[in-house]
């Protein structure tokens, strides 16, 4: 489940960053950076689960 959760977070971050650039919305771009960080954390948790 963690893998799919991370993938969906990363996809949403990509959509937000593209929309942010299209609209010139810096807040949306910053929010997408936070979402990328969250996705990275989720993928790291997935990797740790797989190693166990």
What's the pLDDT score for residue 2?
81
> How wide is the angle at C-alpha 17 spanned by C-alphas 13 and 9, nearest 5°?
0
Task: State how far the Cα of 36 lies from the Cα of 39, in Å rounded to an integer.
Answer: 5
| Interval 1-52: pLDDT, tens | 888 888 899 999 999 999 999 999 999 989 899 999 999 999 899 999 999 8
Give the whole-angstrom CA distance, residue 34 versus residue 40.
10
**Predicted pLDDT of residue 52:** 84
């Amino acid at each position: 489940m963690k893998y799919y959760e991370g993938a969906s977070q990363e996809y949403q971050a990509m959509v937000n960053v593209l929309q942010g650039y299209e609209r010139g919305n810096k807040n949306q771009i910053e929010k997408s950076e936070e979402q990328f960080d969250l996705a990275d954390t989720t993928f790291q948790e997935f990797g740790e689960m797989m190693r166990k």
